[in-house]
């Protein structure tokens, strides 16, 4: 069974991360409110970078994965836009004094930060690159007890997708939660019609609880300005599935 990072296979990753018009509209409208430069951190294959560029914004897409950035560049050219793409680690980056009016971290990507040092480095790096009235905007799923108490040995089917070369693929997951690190350790198992478990990929994600989030943001020198419970800007409630944060200096 092959095991690697989910971001080593953009052809498979993209199948499990289809376009979401509501998410795109939220981030594009939020960035357009401020105009100017936009930094799309953890941009992956450019799923959000391209709509931002199509809206007429000056966009930089950044990611750790060179493979994802290569795919993002191909997608951008096919959509006749030319955002700049760069490789960096969002825990510590320096773009030589360049500042941005909006910095975006979409689709739970901020939860790849696991330790307090990770978060502190991320928020401080962001703070160095925000314009005086700039905003950091990101989303993170809202942990719930049922999710965290899942049977770690039980496989759950999470999706069926169709790959151009591999055909129909079933994706299953197992998950266990470490309450000390607050990291949910997920494994995704990919099976085609001809080969079960041809790929296994770990996906550890930090859980950040609602009362904890403002403290993490403040630890990096930023302020939580607004928080929503969904991309339609509804208030955060106990029934929300995610917390969407808008932060400033």
Average pLDDT score, the chain: 94
pLDDT category, 164, cuts 50, 70, 90? very high
Instruction: Give the three-state DSSP class for 4.
Output: coil
Q: Is the pLDDT of residue 3 over 60?
A: no
Q: Quote the pLDDT of residue 97.
A: 87
pLDDT category, 2, cuts 50, 70, 90? very low
Domain boundary residue among 206, 221, 239? 206
Do residues 56 and 36 both lie within one domain? yes
Q: Quote the pLDDT of residue 150.
A: 82
Q: Quote the pLDDT of residue 167.
A: 96
Do residues 130 and 150 both lie within one domain? no
Give me the half-sphere count of Cα atoms (radius 13 Å) on the Cβ side of residue 96.
Answer: 0
DSSP state of 47: T
203 Cα distance to chain centroid: 12
Domain count, the chain: 2
CATH code for the domain in which residue 123 is found: 3.40.50.150
Q: Quote the pLDDT of residue 95.
A: 95
Residues 6+ away with beta carbon under 8 Å from 26: 231, 232, 233, 244
Do residues 104 and 170 both lie within one domain? no
Tens of pLDDT, residue by residue over 83-130, are 999 999 999 999 998 999 999 999 999 999 999 999 999 999 999 999
Q: Quote the pLDDT of residue 240.
A: 95
The mean per-residue pLDDT over the stretch 129-147 comes to 94
Which range of residues forms the domain containing residue 180?
145-206
């Amino acid at each position: 069974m092959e095991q690697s990072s989910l971001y080593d296979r953009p052809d498979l990753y993209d199948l499990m991360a289809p376009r979401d018009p509501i998410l795109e509209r939220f981030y594009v409208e939020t960035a357009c409110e401020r105009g100017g430069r936009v930094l799309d951190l953890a941009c992956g294959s450019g799923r959000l970078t391209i709509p931002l560029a199509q809206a007429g914004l000056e966009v930089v897409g950044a990611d750790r994965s060179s493979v994802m950035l290569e795919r993002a560049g191909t997608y951008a050219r096919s959509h006749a836009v030319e955002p700049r793409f760069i490789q960096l680690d969002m825990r510590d980056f320096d773009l030589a004094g360049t500042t941005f009016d909006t910095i975006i971290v979409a689709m739970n990507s901020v939860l790849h930060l696991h330790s307090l040092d990770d978060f502190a480095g991320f928020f401080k790096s962001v703070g160095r690159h925000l314009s005086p009235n700039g905003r950091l905007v990101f989303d993170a799923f809202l942990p719930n007890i049922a999710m965290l108490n899942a049977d770690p040995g039980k496989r759950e089917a999470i999706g069926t997708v169709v790959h151009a070369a591999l055909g129909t693929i079933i994706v299953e997951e197992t998950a266990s939660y470490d309450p000390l690190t607050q990291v949910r350790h997920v494994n995704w198992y990919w099976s085609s019609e001809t080969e079960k478990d041809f790929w296994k990929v770990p996906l550890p994600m930090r859980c950040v609880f609602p009362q904890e989030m403002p403290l993490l943001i403040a630890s990096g020198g930023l302020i939580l300005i607004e928080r929503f419970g969904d991309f339609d800007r509804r208030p955060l409630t106990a029934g929300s599935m995610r917390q969407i944060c808008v932060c400033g200096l």
